[in-house]
Amino acid sequence: MDKTVLEQVVLEEFDYSFDRLIVVDGITRSGKFWLTNMLMYFQNLEYAHHFRIMDLFIYMNKTSKLSDNAAVSLLQHEARMHMWEVALGRNINMRQLDSSCVCKGPKADIYKKRISKECGQNISIEDVFKGDNYFVFVGHDWLTNSSLCFKAYPKIKIIRMERNPIDLVYAWYKKGLGKEENHDCRLKNKSGPRPWFTYDWQVEFSRLCEIDKIIHSIYSLDLLTKRSLESLEPDLKSKIFFTSYELVAIEAKKEASKLCQFLNTRQMDDIEEFYSQDYFKTRDRGAILGSRKGKLELIKSLASDKALSLLLKLDQDYKNTGLDLS
């Protein structure tokens, strides 16, 4: 059996509808896990998981390292297995210091029971797909390859988390993401491994200073995402909900209502716990805009004129979307 036929067989074996799958997508440091903390207070939603291997399949296909059939097969396989494991109570994050810890939400007792339930292994994958709960995965830049997402999961719903590019550049800089060794997925070339999204501009990337690398990287990811979304049919675009760090910070209750409508679910009574978090005391409109001025001044002192012009263009484009509320 040749490779093409083998891939097709695997694809057909795991071709589930995945109508109970939700992905929270966004660029690194955009606030995705904060958003998933809100989703934990929605009825019938499982707590969010992030699996780096699934990100890798998206990137490898985007850079032509993995065929469509192979990528779809692998994405479907990973999703169905992880959904089943969550239903069993496996791989549940109970680490208190992590933002994705289930103990920080209203459903902690549910997962504690699953972890200790002896008969849990009797749950079949068919039971999971026929159940009432929606499974939430976190993705990093999946929408740079949006067509593949819908090939793998035709009935998926995607929540896209955005954030002002000035804040993103500053957050990347503080996290050390101007240094290529701090990126999880890198492609190897003659001059060494480089972040996956630089696959068609690696030589230029290697010549940039740290802050310029960050600005050009965010600009590149933004461009890849926009081009990918432009190619989608309207019915697929309707399955993507765009929100932002600023909207969740400043208009959390309004945004939660919109998300519930998009996901066809309701908020739990306990969601007031989310709204009362200390985060909101330091993330109002004044605090966000006030801190941004200082961030921009720091960036200006480090960036080249070319990189700064790219950042200011990104900033203006983002403000034009209405997601910034500035």
**pLDDT single digits (tens) 77-128:** 999 888 888 888 888 887 877 777 787 778 888 888 888 766 555 677 777 7
Provide the pLDDT for residue 1. 37
In a domain, 93, yes or no: yes
The identity of residue 183, as a single letter, is H
Provide the pLDDT for residue 8. 46
In a domain, 77, yes or no: yes
When comparing pLDDT for 28 and 124, which is higher?
28
In a domain, 162, yes or no: yes
In the beta sheet, which residues pair with residue 192?
189
Provide the pLDDT for residue 312. 98
Mean pLDDT of 238-257: 96
Confidence of residue 43 (pLDDT cuts 50, 70, 90): very high
Confidence of residue 147 (pLDDT cuts 50, 70, 90): very high
Which range is least confidently modeled, 29-33, 63-67, 94-98?
94-98
Answer whether 22's CB lies under 8 Å from 156's CB: yes
In a domain, 248, yes or no: yes
Alpha helices in the chain (DSSP H): 3-13, 32-39, 52-62, 68-88, 108-116, 125-130, 146-152, 165-175, 202-207, 210-230, 234-237, 245-250, 252-263, 272-275, 285-302, 305-321
Instruction: Give the number of other Cβ atoms within 10 Å of residue 62's Cβ.
Output: 20
Q: Does the structure show a pLDDT above 80 at 157?
A: yes
Provide the pLDDT for residue 21. 94
CATH number for 94: 3.40.50.300
Confidence of residue 6 (pLDDT cuts 50, 70, 90): very low
Q: Does the structure show a pLDDT above 80 at 5?
A: no
Share of the chain above pLDDT 70, in %: 92
In a domain, 171, yes or no: yes
Collapsed DSSP state (helix, strand, coil) of residue 138 = strand
In a domain, 326, yes or no: no
- In degrees and rounded to multiples of 5, residue 125 shows phi and psi of -65, -30
* Residue with token string 């890798």: 56
Provide the pLDDT for residue 4. 46
In a domain, 193, yes or no: yes
Answer whether 105's CB lies under 8 Å from 47's CB: yes
- In degrees and rounded to multiples of 5, residue 86 shows phi and psi of -65, -40
* Residue with token string 């979307």: 321
Confidence of residue 3 (pLDDT cuts 50, 70, 90): very low
Provide the pLDDT for residue 191. 67
Total structural domains within the chain: 1
Tens of pLDDT, residues 291-315: 999 999 999 999 999 999 999 999 9
Tens of pLDDT, residues 194-207: 899 999 898 899 89
Pairing of strands 192-195, 186-189: antiparallel
- Give Cβ neighbours of residue 164 (< 8 Å, ≥ 6 apart): 245, 246, 292, 315, 318, 324, 326
In a domain, 25, yes or no: yes
- Give Cβ neighbours of residue 174 (< 8 Å, ≥ 6 apart): none
Q: Which residues span the domain enclosing 232? A: 3-321
pTM here? 0.90
Cα 101 from chain centroid (whole Å): 17
DSSP 181-242: GG-SSEEEETTEEEEGGGTT-HHHHHHS-HHHHHHHHHHHHHHHHHHHHHTS-HHHHTTEEE
Distances 302 to 180, 293, 295, 321, 326 between C-alpha atoms, Å? 18, 15, 11, 27, 25
Q: Which of 175-184, 230-239, 278-287 has the highest mean pLDDT?
A: 230-239
When comparing pLDDT for 17 and 40, which is higher?
40
Length of the chain: 326
